[in-house]
Structures are given as structure tokens and as C-alpha cells.
């Protein structure tokens, strides 16, 4: 018998993120996967894998101790699954569309190749690859695209960045405004620290647009909050001997303490709670703030499953589906940004 014709188009969305260990025993292999990525360490394969093993062994104990502060594992998968469910519900409100949102992680289970196989088995009419990194970097979004391309040979559309999306900016501005109402009200008493994950300077110099996109995001958010307000863009999670973009979040906190400021930290590049927010920002830097004399230290939440953010993701899916090009993005990268996938495709 002939199978009945589909009455609705099948839309598959791959929602991908970094990933994180489920428990203490996963920490070392997770780190090994991370540092084996050529987008993270650009050395010959054999050397890179040996170095990744050495780093994972050396950093394993301290990383396990940090994950233990959150119960032993990362909350990132659970957060991502909630975002996927919310996005799938929103996409399935539309007539004529049967949407499924698949979750893939770059360095831990479920891996992006696992999600790619599940997408292929489902047999969609259209595929959109959507990162949970608002700002593009070769070390995050491009690495995820690489993993997908190695696992899926069918046509797909992809979103490379969306931090310039008006809804995204408005969602962040609203969070900042709401939190400022809860903090000391004296003019100029609060400094907003927009904290993003850092990158080695050499990656930015090689054509990665990440830092420019972060700073553009902050500029647009502050245009709505009030550009006259005291604020700093800073970068966290610096590791290793290389020079990293700055100022670091640690330096910004020390400076705020010296200046007698209260602090509101806004995780401007993170859309999910994980080790960088719950341990580094909420515990390590909160302790530092107390040591340097900051009386009020507050941290705004990530966007998570806020309806405004799910609307952003749905809007980016629509942009990809409606585009005449296979890659869409909201930031206009310059000629110096050789890593920009839209420029490379063009």
C-alpha cells in the first residue's frame, strides 16, 4: 500500500549548545572532548589529543570540585531541554507545520552527531540549525556547525548569530531595568558588569567577530537602559598562558570595589544557567566582591525559557526558512571577520 501523503510539512530544528558532564565520572572525558576540538586548540591532531588528555587529567579534580557545588553535574542539558520543549510548542502552533526540536551538545551527551542521526531518521522536509550562542564565535557556533556537517549530508539552513535581534535586546534591557530597581538607588552607585565568556586575543585577531558582537550587544542594551549609566563590558573564564581579551570580570570587580560601587552582573553571552553562572559568577566572584568591599553584589538571571527569548528563537527559525541564502545572521560582520560563515559562504 502507498503511504498517505503528508498533510503538514515536517520542520526539524537542531538546538545545540556546549554540553556538560552529567556526573563526576563524566568530568574528565568531557574536558578531553572539549580540548580535543581543533577550534579550541589548533595543533596537529595527534599532539592535540595528547595535550587534551594531559589537560583533562590536570584540571579534572578542580573541575569535579566545582561541579560538586551544583550536585555533581551540569544543569545545562536540563535547561536546554526545557528551551527545546518551549520552542517546539511555539512552532507547532502554526497551521501546516509539524515541528520537532532536537537537542545536540558539542562535547557531551546527547552529542550533535546523535541528534543529526535522529533528524535523518525522522525525515524532515526542512532543517534549521540553531545555536544557543547569541553571538558568533569560531570556537562555539562554527565548531557546532562542523560537527553537524560531519554527520548530516542533507540540505539545511542555519542561524549564525542573533544578538542584534530587537526582541533579544529588549529582553536583556528589561531584565537589567528590573534588577536595577532592586539595588541601591543613589545616582551612580551601581555599576553594571556585562560579563561574557572570554577568548584568546589571537582568535579575535585571526578574524573572529565575537568580541565586536558582544560589545555591540551591550551598546544596544544600554541604549534602552540609559547609556549614561555606569557600565563595563568584561570577560570571564580566562585559562592558560595566552593573552585574553579584557578586561577580565575579576579585574572589573576589583575596580568596582576600589571605586566604591555596588555591582549588577549581567551574563550577556549566556542564555542558560551552567557552571560559568552558578559557580563562577554566583560563588567565586561573589566571594571576591565581598573581599574587595563591594556592599551589594547581584547577578541577573540568564534568559532561559522566558517567553521573550523563546520568541527570539522562533523568529530566527522563520528568518532562516524565509531566506534565499543558507545562513542568516543579525550582525553585519566586516571584511576583517574572516570566520563569519555568511561572508565565507558569499
Q: What is the CATH number of the domain that holds 233?
A: 3.40.50.1400
172 and 132 in a single domain? The answer is no
Please give the helix or strand (H or E) that residue 240 lies within, else none. Answer: none
d(CA 169, CA 248): 23
142 and 262 in a single domain? The answer is no
53 and 158 in a single domain? The answer is yes
Strand, coil or helix: what is 67?
Answer: helix
The residue out of 299, 321, 337 marking a domain boundary is 299
57 and 85 in a single domain? The answer is yes
| 3 within a domain of the structure (yes/no) | no
Instruction: State CA 277 to chain mean position distance.
Output: 12
Instruction: State CA 141 to chain mean position distance.
Output: 9
Per the CB < 8 A criterion, the answer to whether 336 and 113 are in contact is no
148 and 175 in a single domain? The answer is no
147 and 263 in a single domain? The answer is no
148 and 172 in a single domain? The answer is no
Residue 125 DSSP code? S
| 294 within a domain of the structure (yes/no) | yes
330 and 291 in a single domain? The answer is no
pLDDT in tens, the chain (346 residues): 455 556 789 999 999 999 999 999 999 999 999 999 999 999 999 999 999 999 999 999 999 999 999 999 999 999 999 999 999 999 999 889 999 999 999 999 999 999 999 999 999 999 999 999 999 999 999 999 999 999 999 999 999 999 999 999 999 999 999 999 999 878 789 999 999 999 999 999 999 999 999 999 999 999 999 999 999 999 999 988 889 999 999 999 999 999 999 999 999 999 999 999 999 999 999 999 999 999 999 999 999 999 999 999 999 999 999 999 999 999 999 889 999 999 888 7
Per the CB < 8 A criterion, the answer to whether 14 and 154 are in contact is no
| 4 within a domain of the structure (yes/no) | no
202 and 325 in a single domain? The answer is no
| 2 within a domain of the structure (yes/no) | no
What's the number of domains the chain is made of? 2
158 and 13 in a single domain? The answer is yes
* Residue 138 lies in domain: 9-164+307-345
144 and 190 in a single domain? The answer is no
Per the CB < 8 A criterion, the answer to whether 15 and 105 are in contact is no
Q: What local confidence, expressed as pLDDT, does residue 161 receive?
A: 98
Phi-psi region of 188 (alpha: psi -120 to 50; beta: other; left: phi over 0): left
Amino acid at each position: 500500500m502507498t503511504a498517505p501523503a503528508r498533510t503538514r510539512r515536517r520542520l526539524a530544528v537542531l538546538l545545540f549548545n556546549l554540553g556538560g558532564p552529567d556526573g563526576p565520572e563524566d568530568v574528565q572525558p568531557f574536558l578531553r572532548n572539549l580540548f580535543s576540538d581543533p577550534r579550541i586548540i589548533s595543533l596537529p591532531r595527534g599532539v592535540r589529543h595528547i595535550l587534551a588528555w594531559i589537560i583533562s587529567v590536570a584540571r579534572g579534580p578542580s573541575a569535579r570540585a566545582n561541579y560538586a557545588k551544583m550536585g555533581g553535574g551540569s544543569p545545562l542539558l536540563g535547561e536546554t531541554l526545557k528551551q527545546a520543549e518551549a520552542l517546539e510548542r511555539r512552532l507547532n502552533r502554526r497551521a501546516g507545520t509539524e515541528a520537532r526540536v532536537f537537542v545536540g551538545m558539542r562535547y557531551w551527551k546527547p552529542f550533535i552527531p546523535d541528534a543529526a542521526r535522529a533528524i535523518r531518521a525522522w525525515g524532515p522536509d526542512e532543517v534549521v540549525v540553531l545555536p544557543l550562542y547569541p553571538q558568533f564565535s569560531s570556537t562555539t557556533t562554527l565548531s557546532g556547525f562542523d560537527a553537524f556537517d560531519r554527520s548530516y549530508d542533507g540540505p539545511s539552513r542555519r542561524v549564525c548569530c542573533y544578538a542584534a535581534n530587537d526582541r533579544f535586546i529588549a529582553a536583556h534591557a528589561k531584565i537589567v531595568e528590573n534588577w536595577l530597581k532592586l539595588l541601591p538607588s543613589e545616582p551612580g552607585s551601581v555599576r553594571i558588569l556585562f560579563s561574557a565568556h572570554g577568548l584568546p586575543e589571537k582568535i579575535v585577531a585571526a578574524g573572529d567577530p565575537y568580541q565586536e558582537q558582544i560589545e555591540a550587544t551591550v551598546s544596544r542594551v544600554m541604549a534602552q537602559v540609559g547609556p549614561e549609566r555606569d557600565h563595563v563590558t568584561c570577560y570571564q573564564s580566562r585559562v592558560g598562558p595566552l593573552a585574553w581579551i579584557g578586561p577580565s570580570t575579576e579585574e572589573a570587580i576589583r575596580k568596582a570595589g576600589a571605586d566604591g560601587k555596588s555591582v549588577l552582573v549581567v551574563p550577556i553571552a549566556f542564555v542558560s544557567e551552567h557552571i560559568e553562572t552558578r559557580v563562577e559568577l554566583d560563588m567565586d566572584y561573589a566571594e571576591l566582591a565581598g573581599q574587595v568591599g563591594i556592599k551589594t553584589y547581584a547577578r541577573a538571571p540568564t534568559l532561559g525559557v522566558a517567553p521573550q527569548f523563546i520568541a527570539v528563537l522562533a523568529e530566527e527559525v522563520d528568518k532562516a526558512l524565509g531566506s534565499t541564502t543558507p545562513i542568516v545572521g543579525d550582525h553585519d560582520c566586516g571584511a576583517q571577520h574572516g570566520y563569519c560563515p555568511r561572508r565565507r559562504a558569499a
